């Protein structure tokens, strides 16, 4: 009992940070209707600046060009004994400067990124927040380097001596963190219930139109709330850093349990959100205790599955768990053009790629391989998000499940190629449906939150399960068919082997044809009808839930197929290849290309890390490339919400004369997007 109580109390520190991050998410959502997936990443960047201020009196340069750091103090000073010492800020001053920086960053993020997206589709806002996530993560790694980015020790701000609480020895800093967060909660609750600013913010959250009519400025209210939210994020990560250390990726992913706490509070109640955050932190700590005491559970990170469980249960019990906001205008999903000339495009692109394998050198062949594999996984996003409007952030997690399962089937059970990858892809379908069944009741931002939590749970519980994915990695047997070796392994300029590159091209061509024909089929029309208006689709007899689950199954199969190709391309497979960050980056890249078309998936493969674009840039990627990719994604989300292919289609439509049939089709699509009933699809 004493051990259990000790772990529960130890979880107060982490729970307090989750509560603070969740309240920041609550502030920004109530003010602008945006769930910022980069919220914890913003706090992470502020915390690294606090460390730089304490150590050398410097701040990190937030721009992708120029020096790594900017000095705010003159540098070194000569002491009386002849030694030199760096000027640096005291802890209190550094904290105030870091929080001021957080407020400025929060204001800039709102004004430059999310204010222009006020009336944009939900998908565009999610893409912009993922672009911001990529940018903050990449710029931090760029400024600190891969070796200096992870900090195991940060000088503490709070007292850390041991005290006895209910017979349990506990460091004071956990208690101080909990008390600080409870105090902040009380202040925010009073601010929003008893002051003009709080009442105005609540009024704008209830009805933005009504706020404008009575003379309130939703823009100013949102800007102040974004500043407060950024200060909460920065302060929370700074205070937890001495306890947990700082890691760019892991710290940024604290947004997942924070989202669970915010959903329990329905993105509206500070007190419930704080209680939920504290309880989630304490529950994670106790699950860590349970895992350490039960031998069979030691290889599972059970605490990472708790946020997913909380989110799913909340959605099952409440359905749409986020309160809606009355905005001035709602946006819609990108247009999904009907593919044409499929045979010609397949022959030209597929045949050209196969021919190119015989003339390209090793670097370009490797880039072509990565492009094809990424494009296959990207097609899964096109099916689920582009065609049905279900925003999923877990395709790469499903690819990892399939890749490791396929390796297990071939290595341990002797199941040959191509049966093993097909069976493994069906396993991915099962996992995808398990996550999709509870989430089938929701869509939009709610589903995005559920699937990012699912991706985190899959990464920690499945892809780190020693039986399936050993910690040191696993070997993947080479594929062979009728005695022909289709493996990738070779030495020198023969790597990757041409038969494997051709295999990837063939799988991509078949998958792309299948997805394109799906769009042209009656099933594709049903998908688009559900995407346009679920109620209207149901009113004409479509089974919306069954349609969504079918899309989940097809999407999961494609992701699994891409995961098997990835495994064959990495005969020493490690679970780090399928991290949640990579899944977020993939969705962002697909959106950049055009999430509702096959061409968008092909462009996503082109832009992929290690793909043909990387080969054209010399064969290696860098944090600068990812930072610029994040900026481009934000710009595209603001200026071209339909992605690059959508912009190309629009340009072509302006240049080419339109036929009466096309005018009629455009009117039908516009009517569907406006929410009118869509006729049931007929052959």
Domain boundary assignment for the chain: 2-318, 342-673
175: Cβ–Cβ under 8 A, 6 or more apart, which residues? 12, 163, 165
Q: What is the pLDDT of residues 531-542, one digit of tens each?
A: 888 888 888 888
Q: How far is CA 300 from the centre of its chain?
A: 22
Predicted local distance difference test score (pLDDT) of residue 144 = 87
Predicted local distance difference test score (pLDDT) of residue 107 = 95
Predicted local distance difference test score (pLDDT) of residue 79 = 55
241: Cβ–Cβ under 8 A, 6 or more apart, which residues? 47, 50, 51, 151, 154
Predicted local distance difference test score (pLDDT) of residue 324 = 52
Predicted local distance difference test score (pLDDT) of residue 610 = 84
CB 256 within 8 A of CB 452: yes
Instruction: Give dist(CA 6, CA 21) in Å, integer.
Output: 24
Q: Which residue has the tokens 């023969």?
A: 494
Instruction: Give dist(CA 525, CA 331) in Å, integer.
Output: 20
Residues of the chain with pLDDT under 50: 1, 326-330, 661-683
Q: What is the CA radius of gyration of the chain?
A: 26
Pull the structure tokens for residue 530. 């559900």
DSSP 481-533: ETTEE-----SGGGPSPHHHHHHHHHHHHHHHHHHHHHHHSHHHHHHHHHHH-
CB 216 within 8 A of CB 223: no
CB 30 within 8 A of CB 267: yes
First to last CA, the chain: 65
Pull the structure tokens for residue 287. 């699950």
Global pTM value: 0.87
Predicted local distance difference test score (pLDDT) of residue 672 = 45
The CATH code that applies to domain 342-673 is 1.10.3470
Q: How many CB atoms lie within 10 A of CB 172?
A: 14
Instruction: Give dist(CA 312, CA 301) in Å, integer.
Output: 18
Predicted local distance difference test score (pLDDT) of residue 319 = 60
Q: What is the pLDDT of residues 139-149, one digit of tens each?
A: 998 888 766 67
CB 55 within 8 A of CB 87: no
CB 384 within 8 A of CB 551: yes
Predicted local distance difference test score (pLDDT) of residue 622 = 64
The H or E element containing residue 168 is strand 168-171
HSE-CB at 310 with a 13 A cutoff on CA atoms is: 26
Instruction: Give dist(CA 311, CA 255) in Å, integer.
Output: 13
Q: What is the pLDDT of residues 266-300, one digit of tens each?
A: 888 899 999 999 999 999 888 888 877 776 676 67
Predicted local distance difference test score (pLDDT) of residue 148 = 60
Instruction: Give dist(CA 304, CA 253) in Å, integer.
Output: 11
- CB burial of residue 661 (10 Å; 0-12, 13-18, 19+): exposed
Nearest to 533 by CA among 330, 321, 677, 333: 677
Pull the structure tokens for residue 86. 């760096």
Strands (DSSP E) contained in 533-634 are 572-573
Could you give the angle at the alpha carbon of 394 between the alpha carbons of 391 and 398, nearest 5°?
Answer: 135
Instruction: Give dist(CA 143, CA 561) in Å, integer.
Output: 37
């Amino acid at each position: 009992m004493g051990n259990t109580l000790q772990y529960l109390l130890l979880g107060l520190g982490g729970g307090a940070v989750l509560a603070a991050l969740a309240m920041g998410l609550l502030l920004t959502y109530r003010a602008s209707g945006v769930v910022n997936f980069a919220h914890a990443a913003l706090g992470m960047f502020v915390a690294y600046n606090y460390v730089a201020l304490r150590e050398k009196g410097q701040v990190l340069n937030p721009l992708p060009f120029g020096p790594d750091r900017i000095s705010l103090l003159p540098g070194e000073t000569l002491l009386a004994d002849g030694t030199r010492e760096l000027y640096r800020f005291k802890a209190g001053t550094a904290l105030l400067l870091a929080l001021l920086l957080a407020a400025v960053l929060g204001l800039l993020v709102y004004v430059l990124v999310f204010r222009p997206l006020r009336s944009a589709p939900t998908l565009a806002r999610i893409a912009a927040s993922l672009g911001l996530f990529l940018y903050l993560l990449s710029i931090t790694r760029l400024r600190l380097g891969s070796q200096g980015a992870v900090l195991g020790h940060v000088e503490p701000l709070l007292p850390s001596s041991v005290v006895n609480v209910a017979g349990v020895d506990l460091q004071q800093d956990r208690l101080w963190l909990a008390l600080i967060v409870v105090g902040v909660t009380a202040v925010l609750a009073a601010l929003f219930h008893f002051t003009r600013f709080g009442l105005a913010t609540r009024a704008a959250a209830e009805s933005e139109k009504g706020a404008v009519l009575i003379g309130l400025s939703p823009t100013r209210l949102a800007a102040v709330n974004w500043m407060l939210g950024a200060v909460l994020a920065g302060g929370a990560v700074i205070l937890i850093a001495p306890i947990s250390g700082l890691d760019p990726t892991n710290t940024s992913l604290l947004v997942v349990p924070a989202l669970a706490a915010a959903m329990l509070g329905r993105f509206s109640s500070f007190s419930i959100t704080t209680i939920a955050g504290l309880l989630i932190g304490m529950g994670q700590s106790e699950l860590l205790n349970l895992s350490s005491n039960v031998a069979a559970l030691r290889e599972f990170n059970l605490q990472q599955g708790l946020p997913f469980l909380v989110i799913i249960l909340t959605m099952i019990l409440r359905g749409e768990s986020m309160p809606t906001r009355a905005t001035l205008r709602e946006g819609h999903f990108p247009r999904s053009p009907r593919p044409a000339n499929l045979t010609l495009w397949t022959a030209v692109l597929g045949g050209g790629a196969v021919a190119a394998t015989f003339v390209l050198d090793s670097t370009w062949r490797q880039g072509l391989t990565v492009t094809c594999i990424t494009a296959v996984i990207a097609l899964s996003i096109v099916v689920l998000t582009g065609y049905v409007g279900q925003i999923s952030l877990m395709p790469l997690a499903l690819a990892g499940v399939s890749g490791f399962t396929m390796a297990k089937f071939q290595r341990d059970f002797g199941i040959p190629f191509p049966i093993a990858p097909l069976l493994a892809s069906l396993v991915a379908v099962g996992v995808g449906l398990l996550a999709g069944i509870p989430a089938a009741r929701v869509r939009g931002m709610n589903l995005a939150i559920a699937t990012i939590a699912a991706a985190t749970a899959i990464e920690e519980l499945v892809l780190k399960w020693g039986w399936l994915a050993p910690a040191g990695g696993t070997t993947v047997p080479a594929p062979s068919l009728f005695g022909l070796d289709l493996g990738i392994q070779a030495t020198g300029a023969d790597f990757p082997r041409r038969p494997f590159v051709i295999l990837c091209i063939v799988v991509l061509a078949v998958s792309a044809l299948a997805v394109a024909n799906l769009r042209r089929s009656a099933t594709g029309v049903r998908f688009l009808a559900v995407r346009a208006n679920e109620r209207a689709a149901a009113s004409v007899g479509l089974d919306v839930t069954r349609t969504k689950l079918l899309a989940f199954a097809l999407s999961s199969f494609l992701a699994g197929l891409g995961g098997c190709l990835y495994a064959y391309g990495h005969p020493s497979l490690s679970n780090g290849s399928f991290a949640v960050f990579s899944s977020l980056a993939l969705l962002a890249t697909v959106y950049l290309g055009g999430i509702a078309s096959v061409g968008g998936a092909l462009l996503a493969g082109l832009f992929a890390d290690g793909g043909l674009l990387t080969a054209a840039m010399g064969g290696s990627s860098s944090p600068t490339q990812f930072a610029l990719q994040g900026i481009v994604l934000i710009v595209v989300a603001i200026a071209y919400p339909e992605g690059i292919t959508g912009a190309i289609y629009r340009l072509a439509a302006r240049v080419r004369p339109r036929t009466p049939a096309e005018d009629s089709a455009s009117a039908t699509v516009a009517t569907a997007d406006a929410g009118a009933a869509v006729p049931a699809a007929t052959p």
